[in-house]
Structures are given as structure tokens and as C-alpha cells.
Structure 1
Amino acid sequence: MSSREKILQQVKLNKPSETALPLHYTFESGYENTEVKFKEILQAIYTEVIVVGSLDELKEKVEEMYAGVVNKATTVEALSSWADFSLQVQDPHELEMIEIAILQAEFGVAENGAVWISDRHLQHRVLPFITQNLAFVIPRNALVNNMHDAYKRLLDTTGWGCFIAGPSKTADIEQSLVIGAHGARSMVIFLVEN
């Protein structure tokens, strides 16, 4: 018997018994305030969270924050008059000129600051990744505690969707943090009262 065969035989003999997985597994986060935790996590990953009382207040805030910016796009109906860049393009490469994109998102996750977006509100999947600056609009009551709660909300989801947390960043090179390395350089989340 070769050394290899001996090793494989020992591995087979040392096989642990199977353990049954639970049928339903959930994790309770126990956050006192989901919104406070959401803001805390996002602040740690270089994302600003702004609470606005209405869609009219959202429009005022957006006009104030992005005054003088050109190539603005949005999927939020209430901001359509603010946008100066049409998303009605055939070739997604034309979106590379967008300076700020404000997108409708479905919900946010307090555990990790992730925001769920899907093709339900997005004509071009590349938009959140190609824009220079990114903002999301989320209903204030659409925050969940953790990814277990998030996946429960996704049971009826079909098509494309993804979680995005914070602006693009990397620290691979010499352990030096670079924001906007391969995507949006900044991210803002607007929580809108219903």
C-alpha cells in the first residue's frame, strides 16, 4: 500500500457522522433601533444617510446637494424633472458620462448596510456600477435587521437583483484604502417617510 493510499484510508476511517441541518434557521439581531444600526454601519463604510419627510423634500435636498452637476440621471419618478440625462438609451455604454445617478431601491439591511436593487426599478443593470456617484431612495419603513430577514423578502423575486453596500473601495495595493476604485466614488442613501 502506497503512502497516498494509507492517507486516503485514514481519512475514510475518520469520517465524522452526519449532522442533520435545521429545517428553519433564523437569526434574531436584537437591534434596539434598526434605522440607527443601518446609519451606524453605513457611516463606517463611507456612506451618508439622509432622512427626508416627503418626496418634495427629497427633491429640494437633491437640488441643493447636486447644484451645478451635469449628467444627472434618476429612476425616481419624483425627480424626473431634476435629471438632465435620459436613461432611454439602447447602448449601456452611453451611460458612462453620468456623474450622479439616484436610483429607487427596495429595502436596506441594518446588519451590513446593504441596499437591494432589482430590475423592477432599473432599465440598465450597469447603471449603479458605471456612474461616478450613486444615491439610493428607500422608504424609511423598508429597513430589515439582517440578511435572514432580507432573504425572506426576496422569496417572490424574479429576474436580476443585487445588494450594494457603500461606494466602491479596495485596499489590496499596499493596504492603502482607495475609494471609487472600480465603481461609484460616493454613495448617499435617502430614507423617505411614507
Structure 2
Amino acid sequence: MGREEILNSVRKNKPELLPLPEINADLFNEDIDLLSGFKEKVPLVGGTIKQLTSPKDIDNEITMMYPNATNIVNRTQVSSLGTVSISDKTQPKDLEDVDLAILRGTFGVAENGAIWISEEQFYIRALPFITNDLLIILDKKDICQNLHEAYELISKRKRTFGLFISGPSKTADIEQCLVIGAQGALSLTVLLI
């Protein structure tokens, strides 16, 4: 079978579309401290979290945490660190030597420690995965309770690429041995401001 024959066969045999179920998201709301819940979940998924008292401390904190980082991509306005410039013309292969990527998170999810980041903040889709270490700066007031609320928030966005990041890349499917950094960053640090 050729490519077109296969695609035509798939088109002819697609299952009937079913409507999404109606979910009452109010049933999942809990009276919890969102910040505490988020701070508890990030380490559970392998990330590190630090809360700063002032945005003025960001560069100093990053320099102390990553003293050997020389190739740094910074896509935030709150940090002045950055040695590698990127644009929408940058090719992913040009980022293979990035030690640290500093990105701004849109919001966090208390339920699982995930952070939503969007392509509008980093241009190159490969950046959060190709960097050795990933640091996300997040405003502590931008935390929602659960993924029901998170999906409601992202449903109102401009339809560009975005993703939830939850901890560093990890896998344990090969010989049941945990490997950190298998498909992405070796570490994830969240700086709360």
C-alpha cells in the first residue's frame, strides 16, 4: 500500500466523534492553600523550588545555583542574565550547548506541580528540552488549584504551542531504571516571586 492509500483508508474508517463529557469542575474544588500545595508538589516530581522575598534577588540566586552555567538563554524581563540570544529565526540545533534556559511561567497547578509555559515566551519549541537545566520564574499569585481550572485558563489563550512542565525529564521504562534527563532538561528549578 502506498501512502495515499493508507491515508484514504484511515479517513474512511475513522470512528464517530463523541461529544466531550460535561464535567462539573466545582466538584473538584477544595479549600486549600494553593501556594503551599504547589510548593509541596514540585519536589515530589523531581523539581526544586525556591521562594524569593524580592525580585531583586533573582540574578544573585540563579548565579549561586548555577555557578558553572556559561551559555544561558534568558527569555524573561526580570533577570539580566543571558549570554545566548535567540529569535524566531534561531534553529534548534544552534542551542545544543545551552547550559541554562530561564523562562517565565504563565501559571502553576497546585494539584501536581506543573507549570504552563507558552511558545510566546521562548520562540524555539526545543528550548525547554535541549537545555541542560531549566529554570522557570513564576509569580506566586499565579497558581490555580487543579487541571480542570488550568484547562479553562488555557482555553482562552491565543492558539500557539504551549505545554505543562512538571519536574525534570525522566523515564524508568528501560530495565526499570530511573533516568533523569532522558528526553529533556536534567533539572527543573522554580523560582517563586
Task: State the TM-score, normalizing by the size of structure 1.
Answer: 0.82
Residue 85 (structure 1) aligned with residue 84 (structure 2):
yes
**Is the 1:31–1:37 contact (alpha carbons within 8 Å) kept by the matching residues of 2?**
no
- Post-superposition, which runs of at least 4 consecutive aligned residues in structure 1 deviate over 2 A? none
- Residues 27-66 of structure 1: matches in 2 within 5 Å? 27-66=27-66
Gaps of 5+ in 1: 1-19
**Is the 2:50–2:190 contact (alpha carbons within 8 Å) kept by the matching residues of 1?**
yes
Give secondary structure in 1 for the equivalent of 2:60.
helix
- Measured after TM superposition, the shift of residue 118 of structure 1 is 0.6
Name whichever of 43-52 and 26-35 sits farther off: 26-35
Over the matched positions of the two proteins, sequence identity in percent amounts to 35
Check 1:39–1:31 CA distance in 2 against 1; reply closer, same or farther (3 A cut). Answer: farther
Structure 2: distance between partners of 1:90 and 1:21: 41
- Measured after TM superposition, the shift of residue 28 of structure 1 is 2.4
Residue 127 (structure 1) aligned with residue 127 (structure 2):
yes
Name whichever of 57-66 and 132-141 sits farther off: 57-66
- Measured after TM superposition, the shift of residue 31 of structure 1 is 4.9
Match of 1:71 in 2: 71
Check 1:152–1:21 CA distance in 2 against 1; reply closer, same or farther (3 A cut). Answer: closer
Gaps of 5+ in 2: 1-19
**Is the 1:31–1:145 contact (alpha carbons within 8 Å) kept by the matching residues of 2?**
no
Q: CA RMSD in A?
A: 1.7
Match of 1:8 in 2: none
Structure 1: distance between partners of 2:121 and 2:137: 11
Equivalenced residues, count: 171
Name whichever of 107-116 and 85-94 sits farther off: 85-94
The C-alpha deviation readout for 1:17-55, integer Å capped at 9, x for no partner, is: xxx954x52042415211111122111111111111232
Structure with bigger gyration radius: 1
Structure 1: distance between partners of 2:54 and 2:183: 33
Match of 2:166 in 1: 165
**Is the 2:100–2:132 contact (alpha carbons within 8 Å) kept by the matching residues of 1?**
yes
- Measured after TM superposition, the shift of residue 155 of structure 1 is 2.5
Structure 2: distance between partners of 1:144 and 1:102: 22
